Structure 1
Amino acid sequence: MPTIIGNGLGSGLDIEAIVTSLVNAQSAPKTAQLDRLRSQTDARISGVGQLRSALEAFQTAMRELGSGSAFSALAATSSHAERITVNASDSAVAGSYQIKVNQLASSSRVATAYIGSETAFSAGSLTIGLGTDDPLTVNIAEGASLVEVRDAINAQLGGSGITANVVSDPGNPNVGSRLIFSSTATGQGKDISVAGSNASLSQLAVDGSVQQSGGAAGYITRAQNAEFEIDGLALSSATNRVEGAVSGITFELRAEAVGQDTTLTIGPNASGLNESIQRFVDSYNQVVRVTNSLTRVTQAADGSSASGGALVGDASIRQLMNTVRRELTSPVDTGNDSIRILADLGIRTQSNGTLAIDQAQLTAVIQDRPESIGAFFAGTDNGLFKRMDDQIRSYTQAGGILSERSDSLQGTLTSISRQRDAHARAMTSLEARLYAQYNAMDSLVGQLTSTGNSLLASLDALTARTSSRS
């Protein structure tokens, strides 16, 4: 039942203020304790999240650096990247090549003869060939218009690389329209041909080896190879992406290259190696900065107090950083004794735990032994990236150390919430008990006061009668 708040009429006391003060005094220590615990737990949850984000960013950086050409010993450059782009693999050999492009690879595009706008085709099929590839069949419904034939082709040949569209001549609207077939396959011998299964559909027949002229069917462009010269040697490719012409390099021909000379150079990947190593160092240093911030104890200027990071004293953080630092300093057997630890590259640990690069030493290694750098960092068996990722994964993976840490902290928040509810109920009970006690006291004081006043009145009356008799 609701608490009855006394007004102190009997005693003259402010019962509500007294009870409120007593309840607040009783409640304050526990409330303050729970507030501190909640604040600390929230900070720890945030700290775990910051650490996990930094570790995952570090893992992502290592994964990207290790999976691509970031640590290739050689790099390919083009004197005119707008004409030819080039990439080198690990099997490339240093050298310079003069490329002259005479024509680009192109795909087949053919046109049917003009078809009257009122034409309705008989049911049947179209057989569409692409050079010596197996022909494709498209079924055509009875009474289909030219637009409906186009739609059937595109729907049934989706993903084949062959598409069709309707083209009309606005200057001569009475001649009708034609179908234009296009292919994405480049290279000599990839010409489109079309044949119909009946007289009606044979109106759409095209011989892809005959040039289109006037209103007749034929090719608009023929499929052809790219033709180019490397240092004067005539070569060809079915596609504009040329692989295998020069061992270890792939280059892409663009329209701007036709008739132009372009120089491709394969040389030490100095810039790429520097950038890759710097990215690794920066990502690692961010992890160190985050952990330092989360575990640092800061003394007040006057020395009277100290404040700590969200994860001060957390043993799992110390274990993580000890493990990571151990991998940084463990020698790697790459088959080349010249680079076995980071210090051989001029990368050393500073007093605050971050890494710093001795650029002069690194530059010398890149010039002398660039092929060793990739094996040290990105070796698939015992490269630094793999060993570091193996150690960090136990912290960042689902159900890992940091996930368990977060779950435990969330459990603490749940416990705090339960304790608050229990404390609130206890304080409500205390308040009710105090009101009952003070209301009873107030009532008793009121009764005693009333009795006292009655006795005083009787005595006064008795005194007055005695005086009158005298």
Structure 2
Amino acid sequence: MANTTIGNYGNLTGASAYGLGTSSTPSASVLAKVERTLASQTGSVAKLNTSLASGQAKLSGLGQLQSALTGFQSIAERLAGSGLSTTATSSGKGVLTASAAGTAKAGTYAVDVKQLAQGQILNSDQQASSSATIGTGSPATIKVEFGTDGGNTFTPGKTSAKTITIDSKNNTLDGIASAFKEAGINASVVKSGTGYALQIKGENGEANSLRISVSGDAALKNLVAYNPASNNSPTAQGLTQAAAAQGAVATVAGKEVKSASNTLKDAIDGVSLTLTGAGKTDVTVSQDSGQIAQNVSLFVNAFNDLNSKLTALQKGDLKSDQALGQVSRELNALVQGNSGVSKSALAAVGVTVDSSGKLVLDDKKLKSAIAADAGAVAGLFTKDGKGLADQFDAKIDTLTGKTGSIQREAQQVGKDITALSSKKADLAKALTTQANALVAFYTQQEQSAASDALPGYTGARSLFDFLV
């Protein structure tokens, strides 16, 4: 008989599995009784779901915190050395953006972007539903390899292969996408025509092409297997390629440069190029004390953006979080004079701290200080590792490093999520077993025209006692 689902308890195999001599679907009255009997268990399920959601939100928040810090750090790093007075501009629109550090040399450099980096995109065949069961539910292993697609060949790269297990707990499009995500691979369910499809996206760069093999369930193999060597035989695999993995290619000052990403570092000494489109442009690097005011303003705005992000995280996913608390305290201490740069010295060049912890810039006062002594102003932000920007750069290195509080906390949250997921799977299995037994019992009662109560039931025991 076809499986029957009750609530979130799993698939019921039906009365025939218990030797009751019937292959019919359980009646509505039987299903209603099972629902009522299992109703007391929903609290445990809901509690686990809440804990999982909280853990996943926290892990996401820690990722956002890490990203916000590294984003601000990139601004601070650019101001090192003579970077406060260095700028890089692009003559063309829509081709690239450029930023210069203090090591950049003044000059104009011709850049011709021939190809942007992109990741591979693979799509499955259309399915009627994202939650419908695929295959038998018997365990299957998906192996994902990373390497270079040579057309009809595949050469594994340095990145280690990843394995994913699919079974009766996650053999749906939604479940498979989640399993890929847990393995660190970008996957999602997308609307496709009148149905749904699994979409897998690789990292940018030609060395990040995917080869996916499946051992076990044939239905899963037909859905997600992908081998570049079978490109000439589309029926030999489940996924189809919508976009090939490729790296960026550009000519910089007459020299060809290739990159797995769309960021080219040191193609021009001390300049970082972020490619946004194909085309030609000139990048001009200049060093001028007039740039100091612009870069100080950039630093102030970047710090305030970071401050706003930290505040939002404190009110949301990372409320009362220890790692976030440490980050906030240590970064705020730097602008309060604990960086070796006093508040009075910053105030003298127009930079103060308001009651919310944000930096306030008096542009008129800053320009006046630069006119009086540009070197002294620059020295407040970058000076042999002792400037404010230098201190922020070093502090963020500590906070975001492998032994830093953010990474330690993220690892612990990840372990907690794994434990909760395992507990949830065990609970679902136990509830499915109970539900199947109840279906069998109530069906037997119904067939024999027995009363709705358990034989000999006096009200002193739980309905689940007979399952022990």
TM-score by length of 2: 0.45
Structure with max Cα Rg: 1
TM-score by length of 1: 0.45
